[in-house]
Structure 1
Amino acid sequence: MGALGIGTKKRDTPSLNFSQIYQASSLCEMNNKEICNIKKSIKNIRRNYLSSTYPAPYSRQAILVILRTQRFLWRNVQYTYARLTGCAMIGLLMGSLYFQIEYKDIYGATSRTLYIYMQVILIGVISANNVIPQIGTDRLVYFREKRTGMYLPVFYPISWAVGEIPYFLMATLAVVGIGNGMAGIGTQSPSEFIKYWTVLFLFTLCLTYFGMIITFLAPVPTLAAFAMSIVTSLWVSALGVVVLLSDKVLQMDVLE
């Protein structure tokens, strides 16, 4: 019966009204002032940054998103190691094939031109194709962060564009330093080497940015990689690079 509450005594009305005592106290006044100050500060912050839907100003959002993307790339040790070692192997391969190539005649000059052409194709296309699956893997995190309204969506592609710059600086430096040093192309002076390295870096960056744009627009990364391969193939086939025949082959054709 006691468990059902039957037979228990009813409590008496309290002799003191604690709510009225709190409202008349100095503690209530201090708490109300503190709440008003917090509300004013929040309104001022929103008015200054014009971003009432986001918890931080635009500048801080951009910095944090760029740092997040940079950590994502840096912690992917296998991907970073494969990129740098792959560029070093390209430099060794190209340098050994065109080791100290001469350019005293038209055939040597053509070969040196083909070296630059192949170098640009290899590092540019490989870099663009490598970044597509990485963005595809990170897009799921971006969709979750976008739904929660953590930052302005435009900062996501900007973070990838900025985050790839140091990696391509190192990659193109490895290709130019090893391959061009062995082939003797663009290494006559430090200024010439820096100019060659800068042009290759900018070209690689632009081609990679093109791959990023396709990845952001494509619904799935597989479709982006397929579109990138088609566009690259069309671009390569339309360049019009001509490989000249040697004098011995021309003489044999004349005799025949």
Structure 2
Amino acid sequence: MDEPTSGLDARAAAIVMRTVRNTVDTGRTVVCTIHQPSIDIFEAFDELLLMKRGGQVIYGGKLGERSQILIDYFQGINGVPPISSGYNPATWMLEVSTINMEEKIGVDFADLYRKSDQFRQVDENIKRFTVPPEGSEPLMFSTTYSQNQLSQFLLCLWKRNLVYWRSPEYNLVRLVFTTAGALILGTVFWNVGSQRSSSQGLMTIMGVLYSACAFLGVSNASSVQPIVSIERTVFYREKAAGMYAPIPYAAAQGLVEIPYIITQTIIYGVITYFTIGFESTAQKFLLYLVFMFLTFTFFTFFGMMVVGFTRTLHLAAVISSAFYSLCELLSGFLVPKPFIPKWWVWFYYINPVSWTLRGIILSQLGDVETIIDEPTFHGTVKEYIERNLGYEEGTMGISAVVLLAFCALFFSAFALSVKFLNFQRR
């Protein structure tokens, strides 16, 4: 540890060093540099290595009870003034071992130490402990980390949960934005969900469903990227220190988002569903929430994934914008699937937004038998969406599974990027 008390007041420094002392008492060895310690902190150490300018050792060995071994050693040198009663031995030690003191009493503290019993005792201990006991085996550890993967994950999750709870500028703001966005969407499209007797009304409903998914999803992906980018810098340092492995960290980073996404889904879903005026059945309401949740989740994981694969936040934002544009263009709403050119239809199937749109439209309109009687079309709502959008009956469940697969894919890609990529060059 390199000066762990720097910048701390007396109380905080005492708390830190008490923790270090407790660590030592478990059988571990702590090597620590210290700057102007108090008496209590100095006497918490067992041994001292003191060097003068040039790196020459002038004392090495045990401190003793109330630093008595150290005090006896320096007071045994002719010309060194004795320590006053109650004086800090750390301060006294530094005062009596200066270059000016060497010149004053005409000695070389490094030379005196090399000829002392203290040096011989330390040298003997080094030689003795260098040779392993007979029959002993090399010290081996089965893993780099002190805890197993599950313990690392739980500790990382606890830490990330605290960080998120103490980040109102991110979480509270996005919940406020969710509420405001839901109210805006609900009031703009007030009660249009019941207008299903014409193709124009039907397209309006599908536009609402499309907007409801894309509006907050893109916001989630964009807002999570700065958080992940900042935390990645902290992760590099803690990973290098061997605190935890990449996969438990990535799992905790992904899982900590879930409660907030659920909260967003409930707020957004309840407000928009009833203000827009969709069909008031428990099944359709729950399906609406399910597809909303899956959409917000894959957008959030996508934002995390892009940051994981890019060096800078700016580059991640540029790539994300291009992805959003393509997804919206080829989602099956602006250009319905039957009208997408065959050389671009492949993107429709790997586009998560298209599966969201398919699933949420089928969940709300896939069983509606309301008749549409127009010059260009005569039939039920169910037949209209199958003929004009290419949404086959019975594919709603497949849409949910595909969206789950996208969530897993984006999260796995983020975890792998954390494990194998390192953009820090220091």
The TM-score with structure 1 as length reference comes to: 0.74
Q: 2:181 aligns with which of 74, 82, 90?
A: 90
* Contact 1:132 1:212 survives alignment (8 Å): yes
1:47-196 matches, cutoff 5 A:
50-51=142-143, 53-101=144-192, 102-185=195-278, 187-196=279-288
| SS in structure 1 of the partner of residue 235 of structure 2 | helix
1:10-21 matches, cutoff 5 A:
none
What is the alpha-carbon distance in structure 1 between the residues aligned to residue 78 and residue 323 of structure 2?
83
Partner amino acid for 1:213? M
| SS in structure 1 of the partner of residue 245 of structure 2 | coil
- 1:98-130 superposed Cα distances (whole Å, 9 cap, x missing partner): 111122211111101000101111111100000
State the identity as a percent.
26
* Contact 1:125 1:232 survives alignment (8 Å): yes
What is the alpha-carbon distance in structure 2 between the residues aligned to residue 196 and residue 158 of structure 1?
27
Q: How many residues align?
A: 204
Assess, with a 3 A threshold, how the Cα gap between structure 1 residues 242 and 206 changes in structure 2: closer, same or farther. Answer: closer
What is the alpha-carbon distance in structure 2 between the residues aligned to residue 2 and residue 123 of structure 1?
79
- 1:62-87 superposed Cα distances (whole Å, 9 cap, x missing partner): 10011111211111012111110111
Larger Rg: 2
- Alpha-carbon offset, residue 168 of structure 1: 0.6
Q: 1:214 aligns with which of 294, 302, 306?
A: 306
Gaps of 5+ in 2: 1-76, 80-104, 107-135, 336-373, 375-426
> What is the alpha-carbon root mean square deviation over aligned residues?
2.5
Q: Which position in structure 2 is the counterpart of 1:27? A: none
The TM-score with structure 2 as length reference comes to: 0.45
Partner amino acid for 2:175? L
Partner amino acid for 2:234? V
Assess, with a 3 A threshold, how the Cα gap between structure 1 residues 106 and 171 changes in structure 2: closer, same or farther. Answer: same
| SS in structure 2 of the partner of residue 239 of structure 1 | coil
Partner amino acid for 1:241? F
Moved segments of 4+, more than 4 Å: none
Assess, with a 3 A threshold, how the Cα gap between structure 1 residues 2 and 69 changes in structure 2: closer, same or farther. Answer: closer
What is the alpha-carbon distance in structure 1 between the residues aligned to residue 297 and residue 146 of structure 2?
32
| SS in structure 2 of the partner of residue 213 of structure 1 | helix
- 1:204-233 superposed Cα distances (whole Å, 9 cap, x missing partner): 101211111111111112211111111111
- Alpha-carbon offset, residue 178 of structure 1: 0.6
What is the alpha-carbon distance in structure 2 between the residues aligned to residue 2 and residue 152 of structure 1?
56
Assess, with a 3 A threshold, how the Cα gap between structure 1 residues 55 and 108 changes in structure 2: closer, same or farther. Answer: same
What is the alpha-carbon distance in structure 2 between the residues aligned to residue 74 and residue 216 of structure 1?
23
* Contact 2:150 2:248 survives alignment (8 Å): no
Partner amino acid for 1:62? F
What is the alpha-carbon distance in structure 2 between the residues aligned to residue 240 and residue 169 of structure 1?
26
Higher relative contact order (CA 8 A, sep 6+): 1
